[in-house]
Structure 1
Amino acid sequence: MSHDFNRRSFVKAAGITGIAGLAGCLGGDGNTLSWDAGGTGGTYYPLSGNFKDILEDNTDYSLQVKSTGASVENVSSLNREEADFALIQNDIAYFATNGTGIEELQGEGMDNIRGVATLYPETIHVITQADSGIESVEDLDGAAINTGAPGSGTQVNALQILETAGITEDDFEEQNANFDTAADQIRDGDIDAAFVVGGWPVGSIEDLATSNDISLVEISGDLREDIRSEAEWFADDTVPAGTYNGVDADVETVSVQAMIATHDGVEDDVVETVTAAIFDNTDDLNYKADFISADSAQEGMPIDLHPGAEAYFG
Structure 2
Amino acid sequence: MSPTVTRRRLLEASGSAGIVALAGCISGDDEDGSDGDGGSDNSSDDENSTDVGGDTDGEDGDDGGDGGSEARLSWHAGGTSGTYYPLSNEIKTVVEDATDYTLTVQSTGASVENVGSLSQGNADFALIQNDIASFAVNGTGIEAFQGNAIESLRGVATLYPETITVVTLAENDISSLSDLSGATINTGDLGSGTQVNALQILETVGISDFEEQNASFSQASDQLANGDIDAAFVVGGWPVGAIEDLATSHDIEIVPIDGENREAIMEDAEWFAEDTIPGGTYGGVDSDVETIAVQAMIATHADVSADTVETVTAAIFDNLDELSIKTDFISVDSAQDGMSIDLHEGAAAYFDV
Matched, 1:179 2:224: no
Q: CA separation of 1:28/1:282 partners in 2, compared to 1, >3 Å: closer, same or farther?
A: closer
Within the candidate set 251, 254, 265, 1:213 is matched to 251
Q: Structure 1 residue 186: deviation in Å?
A: 1.0
| Displacement of 1:167 | 1.8
- Residue 77 of structure 1 pairs with residue 117 of structure 2: yes
Aligned residues: 292
Q: In the alignment, is the contact (CA less than 8 A) between 1:26 and 1:32 conserved in 2?
A: no
Kindly provide the CA deviation profile for residues 177-235 of structure 1, in whole angstroms up to 9, marking residues without a partner as x: 11111111111111100000111111111111111110000000101000000101000
Mapping of residues 245-264 of structure 1, within 5 Å: 245-264=283-302
CA RMSD of aligned residues (A): 1.6
Residues in 2 aligned to 1:273 and 1:120: alpha-carbon distance in whole angstroms: 21
Answer yes or no: is 1:226 the counterpart of 2:264: yes
Q: Give the alignment partner of residue 290 of structure 1, picking from 312, 323, 328.
A: 328
> Whole-Å Cα distance in 1 between the matches of residues 69 and 123 of structure 2?
14
CA contact (8 A) 1:89 1:259 kept: yes
Letter in 1 for 2:311: T
Letter in 1 for 2:288: D
Q: Indicate whether 1:203 and 2:241 are aligned.
A: yes
Partner-residue secondary structure (3-state), 1:262 = strand
Q: How far apart, in 1, do the equivalents of 2:301 and 2:105 lie?
A: 17
Residues 66 and 305 in structure 2, CA contact (< 8 A), matched pair in contact too: no
TM-score of the two chains, using structure 2 as the length reference = 0.80
Code of the residue aligned with 1:254 in structure 2: it is I
Structure 2 residue 305 is the aligned partner of structure 1 residue 277: no
Match of 1:149 among 189, 200, 207: 189
- Structure 2: 5+ residue runs without aligned partners? 1-61
Q: Tell me, in whole angstroms, the C-alpha distance in 2 between the residues paired with 1:222 and 1:200.
A: 24
Superposed CA deviations along residues 11-46 of structure 1, whole A, max 9, x for unmatched, are: xxxxxxxxxxx7385899731111111111111011
Q: Scaled by the length of structure 1, what TM-score is found?
A: 0.90
* In structure 2, C-alpha distance between the alignment counterparts of 1:24 and 1:176, rounded to whole Å: 34
Aligned partner letter, 1:188:
N
Question: What is the alpha-carbon distance in structure 2 between the residues aligned to residue 25 and residue 217 of structure 1?
Answer: 42
Equivalent residue, structure 2, for 1:239: 277
The one-letter amino acid paired with 1:132 is: N
Q: Deviations over 1:103-158 (max 9, x none)?
A: 12211311000000000000000000011111111211111111111211111100
How far apart in 1 are the matches of 2:343 and 2:136?
15
Residue number in structure 2 paired with 1:130 = 170
Counterpart residue identity of residue 227, structure 1? I
What residue is the counterpart of 2:205 in the other structure?
A: 165
- Deviation of the 1:281 alpha carbon: 0.5
SS in 1 for 2:128: strand
* Secondary structure of 1:117's aligned partner: strand
Name the amino acid aligned to 1:69. G
Counterpart-to-counterpart distance in 1, 2:255 and 2:234: 12
Match of 1:95 in 2: 135
Distance 1:137 1:53, change over 3 A: same
d(CA) in 2 for partners of 1:74 and 1:26?
19
Secondary structure of the 1:48 match is helix
Paired residue type of 2:117: S
1:309 corresponds in structure 2 to 347
Which sits farther off after the overlay, 104-113 or 43-52? 104-113
CA distance in 1, matches of 2:222, 2:323: 29
Q: 2:238–2:281: 8 Å Cα contact kept in structure 1?
A: yes
Q: CA deviation at 1:166?
A: 0.8
Contact persistence 2:88–2:105 (CA under 8 A): yes
Question: 2:90 aligns to what?
Answer: 50
Unaligned runs of 5+ in 1: 1-21
Structure 2 vs 1, CA of residues 24 and 138 (structure 1 numbering), >3 Å: closer, same or farther? closer
Structure scoring higher RCO (CA < 8 A, sep ≥ 6) equals 1
The amino acid of 1:208's aligned partner reads: L
Structure 1 residues 183, 311: CA separation in 2 closer, same or farther (over 3 Å shift)?
A: same
Matched-pair contact (CA < 8 Å) for 2:155–2:342: yes
SS of equivalent residue, structure 1 residue 294: coil
Match of residue 33 from structure 1: 73
